[in-house]
């Protein structure tokens, strides 16, 4: 009798669950004029105080406006949707487990080495040239290359160029790097360049960098200026040098199947928002970089520019490594097209 009663209760529970599930599945949010609202998740790798989070907010706002309110994009910071593992994030985006992910092009080099071309030291002179390249034929082909992996590029945004910080001395020429223990990302391109420039390179996870700088097991690191600002490196670093040695970009990727499932109006809204935020982001970074630098100066750091003569010494080291960089890019035609575009 007890077994019969338990079986009956189990059947009832399953029926209730099924009804409830159907109810949730059919529940939709609509706009005032009755159009269904599609919710998309968007993940960025940095905290909600970061530049890229602000750009993602602007992107989401414009996409909602241009879709007449039918797109609702929710933003998650710190790579929380993919456990902080960028490679996992790209794989999940490709498989459809995530809707939209914004990650730097240098991270995509693990999937397509051609992305290394953007980070070749001193390839780009400034933000304007980098932006033009991303919109050019070779740049567009590169950033659209992930479509074969079901990732559609709907935004090509630049990042601030990278600068060197350290606790020893101002870096004004390559000779100043002699003996400097410099943290670099775990990327052969970075290791090759800074080793040739005279530094003792130490590839290291970024999460370990502050402690290593504090304990003096590292002398310095290199990143866009918002990184030492947001991570309070002024507490463990003295000098910041305007080397501006490497560029990087943000690839705003949406799962291709998800994109196709949207209405034409929604697709156009996302594409338009991605294109417009490109320049918005450049202007925003310029203003925020000034604030970040001033904060670092007000809190004990010293800043130095490089003379044209000394900067050219860094440039010549990079050019001397072009055969190595060309191998890392693994596409001679793309490398040559990029150097030609940049007059290098």
Cβ neighbours for 113, distance < 8 A, ≥ 6 positions apart: 328, 329, 330, 331
Which tokens belong to 25?
Answer: 């599945």
Tens-place pLDDT, residues 123-178:
999 999 999 999 999 999 999 999 999 999 999 999 999 999 999 999 999 999 99
Which tokens belong to 18?
Answer: 């099924």
Task: For residues 101 and 116, give the distance between their C-alpha atoms in angstroms, rounded to a whole number.
Answer: 19
Which tokens belong to 313?
Answer: 């010494």
Q: Are 67 and 264 in contact (CB under 8 A)?
A: no
Task: For residues 82 and 91, give the distance between their C-alpha atoms in angstroms, rounded to a whole number.
Answer: 9
Tens-place pLDDT, residues 287-322:
999 999 999 999 999 999 999 999 999 999 999 999
For 34-102, the DSSP string reads SPBPEEEEEE-SS-TTSHHHHHHHHHHHHHHHHTTT-EEEEEE-TTGGGTT-HHHHHHHHHHTS-SEEE
Q: Are 150 and 96 in contact (CB under 8 A)?
A: yes
Q: Output the pLDDT for position 297.
A: 98
Q: Output the pLDDT for position 13.
A: 41
Task: For residues 121 and 339, give the distance between their C-alpha atoms in angstroms, rounded to a whole number.
Answer: 12
Average pLDDT over residues 108-124: 96
Q: Output the pLDDT for position 160.
A: 96
Looking at 24-38, 46-60, 114-128, which range is the least confident one? 24-38
Instruction: Specify the residue for token string 């670093």.
Output: 237
- pLDDT band for position 35 (50/70/90)? confident
- Phi-psi region at 328: left, alpha or beta (left = phi > 0; alpha = psi -120 to 50): alpha
Q: Is the model's pLDDT at 27 over the cut of 70? A: no
Tens-place pLDDT, residues 184-235:
988 899 999 999 999 999 998 888 999 999 999 999 999 999 999 988 999 9
- pLDDT band for position 1 (50/70/90)? very low
Cβ neighbours for 280, distance < 8 A, ≥ 6 positions apart: 55, 58
Task: For residues 165 and 331, give the distance between their C-alpha atoms in angstroms, rounded to a whole number.
Answer: 32
The b/e string for 94-109 (b: 16+ C-beta within 10 A; e otherwise) is: beeebbbbbbbbbbbb
- Phi-psi region at 198: left, alpha or beta (left = phi > 0; alpha = psi -120 to 50): left
Write down the mean pLDDT value for the chain: 92
Q: Is the model's pLDDT at 42 over the cut of 70? A: yes
pTM: 0.86
Q: Are 233 and 210 in contact (CB under 8 A)?
A: yes
Q: Output the pLDDT for position 172.
A: 98
């Amino acid at each position: 009798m007890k077994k019969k009663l338990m079986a009956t209760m189990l059947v009832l529970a399953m029926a209730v669950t099924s009804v409830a599930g159907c109810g949730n599945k059919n529940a939709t949010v609509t706009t005032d004029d009755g159009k269904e609202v599609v919710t998309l998740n968007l993940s960025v790798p940095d905290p909600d105080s970061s530049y890229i989070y602000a750009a993602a907010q602007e992107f989401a706002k414009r996409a909602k406006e241009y879709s007449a309110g039918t797109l609702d994009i929710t933003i998650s910071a710190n790579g929380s949707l993919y456990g902080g593992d960028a490679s996992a994030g790209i794989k999940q985006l490709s498989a459809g487990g995530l809707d939209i992910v914004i990650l730097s092009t240098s991270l995509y080099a693990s999937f397509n080495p051609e992305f290394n071309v953007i980070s070749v030291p001193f390839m780009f002179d400034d933000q304007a040239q980098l932006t033009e390249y991303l919109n050019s034929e070779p740049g567009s082909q590169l950033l659209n290359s992930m479509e074969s992996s079901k990732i559609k590029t709907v935004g090509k945004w630049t990042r601030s160029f990278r600068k060197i910080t350290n606790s020893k001395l101002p870096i004004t020429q390559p000779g100043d790097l002699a003996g400097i223990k410099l943290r670099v990302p775990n990327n052969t391109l970075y290791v090759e360049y800074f080793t040739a420039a005279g530094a003792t390179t130490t590839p290291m996870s970024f999460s370990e960098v502050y402690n290593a700088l504090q304990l003096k097991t590292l002398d310095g690191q290199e990143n866009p200026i918002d990184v030492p600002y947001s991570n309070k490196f002024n507490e463990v670093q003295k000098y910041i040098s305007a080397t501006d040695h490497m560029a990087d970009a943000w690839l705003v990727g949406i799962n291709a199947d998800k994109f196709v499932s949207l209405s034409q109006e929604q697709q156009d809204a996302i594409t338009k928002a991605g294109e417009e935020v490109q320049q918005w982001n450049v202007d925003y970074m310029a203003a925020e970089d000034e604030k970040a630098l001033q904060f670092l100066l007000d809190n004990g750091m010293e800043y130095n520019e490089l003379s044209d003569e000394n900067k050219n010494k860094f440039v010549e080291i990079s050019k001397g490594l072009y055969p190595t960089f060309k191998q890392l890019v693994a596409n001679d035609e793309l490398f040559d097209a990029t150097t030609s575009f940049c007059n290098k």
